[in-house]
A and B are shown apart, each in its own frame.
Chain A
Amino acid sequence: MNPKEYKYTQEHEWICPEPGNKGKVGITDFAQSELGDVVYLDLPSPGTQVEQFKKMGEIESVKAVSDLFAPASGQVLEVNQAVIDEPGLVNHDPYGDGWLVRLELSNPSELDALMGSDKYDEFIAQLGEEDSE
């Protein structure tokens, strides 16, 4: 379910590496299901420098607001206008049309610090167990 080629953070962002040290960023299916209906996104504008694991924006669902963290350092190249216009895309297609920003990575080796899909699957399974205790 969580794409194999993506890398994941403990804060439930994903990054999909692209040729030329670029990467598309979004939030995971687990994150969108925890948030519920997303209704507004405050995303960094193109040109903004972001730093790995530092806050780069906010996601508002009907119920709550939550911080969005950068999965890697770099410069924002592009913001997904479709998701600004229709925030529900984050819920309907978190790994596809619901992507948030595209980054130019300043230090691609930072991606080694992120989880692969198997590790991330385990990570959210553990969170589920903690919840039910």
Chain B
Amino acid sequence: MEPLKKTPLNEVQHELKARMVDFGGWDLPVWYTSILAEHKAVRSRAGMFDVSHMGRLWLTGRKAEAFLDRLLTKSVPRLEIGHAQLCLLCLEDGGILDDLVVYHVGIERYLVVWNAANTEQKLEWLFRWSSSDPDIVIKDSSSNTVMLAVQGPAVCQLKNLEDAFPSPRFGIAQAKIGNLSALVARTGYTGEDGFEIITDAANALPLWESFIKQGVKPCGLGARDSLRLEAGMMLYGHDMDTNTNPFEAGLGWLVDLEKGDFIGKNALLEIKRRGVNRKLVGFQMNGREIARSGYRILKSGQEVGQVTSGGYAPSLGIGIGLGYVPIELATIGSEIEIMIHNKPVPAHIVSKRFYKKGASNEP
């Protein structure tokens, strides 16, 4: 077995006696003290997550913009410098290869932050379409930088983030955090206001400690998952993959069919014309049971779909989840059952934005 990959903050996580797990080949904390406490810290004040396992890719050069525009489902030329955009990377058949955030950092300079999974497949896809054009430079900077997500309603009271405050939601700027130079984006995956900070791996520890001193709570993957699920944010590999298209996944708002040609456009036009026969919905358990990813969804005893994400929602105190159901069931209030430990347990369909008070990634 290959040794687990470590982020620049691995040592401090072990020192804090965090509960570590193998997360797609990375040695990462699932919790430091308690998922519930960490979840609550982010909803009520501020928490920080080491998200250095996420892929960070620089695309630069004269043709970088056109290249990205050809690959992504949103218009890249319309993305102004200093702004970021959530996008999909689709295959020719419209299947989703990844969801990612593209940041327009400077003239002919784009940063792509994408999921840690399938990196090789995705890089191969990029290199295939760039066909070694010298005007498209692709450089992975994941291993020599650290990425820290600082999230929660109190982030704007953090002294060393003052420089980054004017940035609007989905803004990105080169900023000073204390005396450290970093790229700071007002993005996140928690449903709260927050920043994602990318800086040299050598700055990892001073950056971490500067937030510890201000009472920002270290948070693990457990809270990251419960926070994103409550906010109705989807997880690649669970709620979508190459076998799902953006329209059934409820991500039509990320597909700009008015823009010029892009990979998957023809298939997506056709899918949109035909309509979808299943849809990703949010559901809430009627009682106190908890549905988990992979459980079956039933309607009147018949299997109709599968839970793709499920768990306990700490802010709501109930079990919630996401899953695909036939389009005729995909209306708010529809009664369904989830097969939990061999028993059909009642649930009903609700809005995917289970928790509505914080910030959203949707327009």
The distance in angstroms between the C-alpha atoms of A85 and B46, with both chains bound, is 29
A1 adjacent to chain B (CB < 8 Å): no
Contact partners of A37 in chain B: CB under 8 A = 34-36
Given A63-B222, A65-B290, A65-B292: A39 and B312 within 8 A (CB)?
A: yes
Using Cβ atoms and an 8 Å threshold, which residues of chain B touch A60? Answer: 290, 312
Q: Which chain B residues lie closer than 8 Å to A91 at the CB level?
A: 34
Q: Does the CB pair B341–A58 fall under 8 Å? A: yes
User: Smallest Cβ distance from B128 to chain A, in angstroms?
Assistant: 38
A116 is an interface residue with CB less than 8 A from chain B? no
CB distance from A73 to the nearest CB of B (A): 22
Q: Known contacts being A37-B35, A37-B36, A42-B341, is A62 close to B292, with CB within 8 Å?
A: no
For the complex, would chain B's binding face be called helix, strand, loop or mixed by DSSP majority? mixed
In the complex, what's the smallest C-beta–C-beta distance from B123 to chain A, in angstroms?
31
> Is there contact, CB below 8 Å, between A63 and B30?
yes
For residue A40, CB closer than 8 A to chain B, the reply is yes
Any chain A CB within 8 A of the CB of B31?
A: yes
Q: For chain B, which range describes its interface: under 10, 10 to 19, 20 to 34, or 35 or more residues?
A: 10 to 19
B227 to chain A minimum Cβ distance, whole angstroms, is 11
Say yes or no: A40 contacts B290, CB within 8 Å.
yes
**Contact in complex: A40, B312 (CB < 8 Å):** yes
Contact present for A62 and B312 (CB under 8 Å): yes
Decide if B151 is an interface residue (CB 8 Å cutoff): no
Report how far A58 CA is from B19 CA in the complex, Å: 22
Q: Interface digits, A47-89 against B, CB 8 Å rule (1 contact, 0 not)? A: 0000000000010111101000000000000000000000010
The reply to whether A62 and B314 form a contact with Cβ atoms under 8 Å apart is yes
Asked if B288 and A40 make an inter-chain contact with CB atoms under 8 angstroms apart, the answer reads yes
**B36:A62 contact, CB within 8 angstroms:** yes
Most chain A CB within a 10 A radius of its CB, from B36, B226, B292? B36
B19 adjacent to A36 (CB under 8 Å): yes
Neighbouring B residues of A61 by C-beta, 8 Å: 35
Given contacts A36-B19, A36-B31, A40-B312, contact A62 B226 (CB under 8 A): yes
Cβ of B241 < 8 Å from any Cβ of A?
no
Contact across chains for B35 and A62 when beta carbons are under 8 A apart: yes
When C-beta atoms are compared, the residue in chain A nearest to B37 turns out to be: A37
Shortest distance in angstroms between B287's beta carbon and chain A's nearest beta carbon? 9
Q: Which of B177-236 contact A (CB under 8 A)?
A: 222, 226
* Proximity string of chain A (9-26) to chain B, C-beta cutoff 8 Å, 1 when within and 0 when not: 000000000000000000
Q: Which residues of B contact A40 (CB under 8 A)?
A: 288-290, 312, 319
- Shortest Cβ distance from A83 into chain B, in angstroms? 13
A85, chain B: closest CB distance, angstroms: 10
Complex-state Cα separation, A39 to B19, whole angstroms: 18
Q: A36 touches which one: B34, B288, B289, B311 (CB < 8 A)?
A: B34
Docked complex Cα distance between A58 and B342 (Å): 12
Q: How far is the CB of A60 from chain B (nearest CB, A)?
A: 5
CB nearest to A91 among chain B residues: B34
Nearest residue (CB) in A for B314 is A62
User: What CA separation (Å) do A88 and B289 show in the bound complex?
Assistant: 15
Q: Which residues of B contact A88 (CB under 8 A)?
A: 36
Output the residue of B19, B226, B312 with the most chain A CB within 10 A.
B312
Residues of A within 8 A of B34 (CB): 36-37, 91
In the complex, chain A residues whose CB is within 8 Å of the CB of B311: 62
A118 to chain B, nearest CB (A): 25
Query: What is the distance, in angstroms, from A57's C-beta to the closest C-beta of chain B?
Result: 10
Interface residues of B in 8-39 (CB under 8 A from A): 19, 30-31, 34-36, 39
Complex: how many Å from CA A93 to CA B193?
A: 35
The 10 A-B residue pairs with the shortest CB-CB distance, nearest first, are A62-B35, A37-B36, A39-B312, A60-B290, A62-B312, A63-B222, A37-B34, A40-B288, A37-B35, A40-B290
A sample of 27 inter-chain contacts (CB < 8 A) reads A36-B19, A36-B30, A36-B31, A36-B34, A37-B34, A37-B35, A39-B36, A39-B290, A39-B312, A40-B289, A40-B312, A40-B319, A42-B289, A58-B341, A60-B290, A60-B312, A62-B36, A62-B39, A62-B222, A62-B312, A62-B314, A63-B30, A63-B31, A63-B222, A65-B292, A65-B341, A91-B34
Binding site for A on B (CB under 8 A): 19, 30-31, 34-36, 39, 222, 226, 288-290, 292, 311-312, 314, 319, 341
Instruction: Report A's interface with B, CB cutoff 8 A.
Output: 36-37, 39-40, 42, 58, 60-63, 65, 88, 91
**New A-B pairs, 15, CB < 8 Å, besides A40-B288, A62-B222:** A36-B19, A36-B30, A36-B34, A36-B35, A39-B290, A40-B289, A42-B289, A42-B341, A60-B290, A62-B226, A62-B311, A62-B312, A63-B35, A65-B290, A65-B292
